[in-house]
Chain A
Amino acid sequence: MAFLSIKNVAIRGISACVPAYVEENLEIIDVPSMDIDKLIKTTGVERRHVATQGICTSDMCFAAAEKLIEELDWNKDEIEGLIMVTQSPDYLVPATSPSLQHRLGLSQNCFTIDISLGCSGYIYGLSTLASYMQSGMIKKALLCVGDVSSISCSKQDKSTYPLFGDAGTVTALEYCELDEGMKFHLSSDGSGYKAIIIPDGGHRRRFSESSLSEHVIDKGIIRNNSELWLDGMDVFSFGISKAPETVNKLLTKFEIVKDSVDHFFFHQANLMMNERIRKKLQLPENKVPYSLKDFGNTSSASIPLTMVTKTADELRNGQNNIIACGFGVGLSWATMHCNTTNLVIPDLIYYG
Chain B
Amino acid sequence: MNIEKFIQEFTEQFDDLDTSTFTAETLFKENDEWSSMTALSIIAMVDDSYKVRLTGDDVRNSKTIQDIYDIVLAKSKL
Interface residues of chain A, those whose CB is within 8 Å of chain B, are 38, 42, 159, 195, 218, 231-234, 236-238, 240-241, 272, 276
* Closest residue of B by beta carbon distance from A238: B53
- What residues of A have a CB within 8 angstroms of the CB of B60 in the complex? 233
B59 lies within 8 A of A233 (CB): yes
B40 lies within 8 A of A232 (CB): yes
5 A-B interface contacts by CB (under 8 A): A232-B56, A233-B55, A236-B40, A236-B44, A272-B40
With A233-B39, A272-B40 as known contacts, state yes or no: A240 contacts B54, CB within 8 Å.
no
* Closest residue of B by beta carbon distance from A272: B40
- What residues of A have a CB within 8 angstroms of the CB of B39 in the complex? 233
A241 lies within 8 A of B53 (CB): yes
Main secondary structure of the interface of A (DSSP, over half): helix
- What residues of B have a CB within 8 angstroms of the CB of A276 in the complex? 44
- What residues of B have a CB within 8 angstroms of the CB of A38 in the complex? 35, 37
Select which of A234, A240, A272 is within 8 A of B56 by beta carbon. Answer: A234
The 10 closest A-B pairs by CB, nearest first: A233-B56, A234-B56, A231-B56, A237-B43, A237-B53, A241-B53, A236-B40, A240-B47, A234-B55, A42-B37
- What residues of A have a CB within 8 angstroms of the CB of B49 in the complex? none
B2 at the A/B interface (Cβ < 8 Å)? no
Give the residues from 13 to 43 in chain B that come closer than 8 angstroms, CB to CB, to chain A: 35-37, 39-40, 43
Q: Kindly state the separation between the CA atoms of A318 and B30 in the bound complex, as whole angstroms.
A: 56
- What residues of B have a CB within 8 angstroms of the CB of A42 in the complex? 37, 40
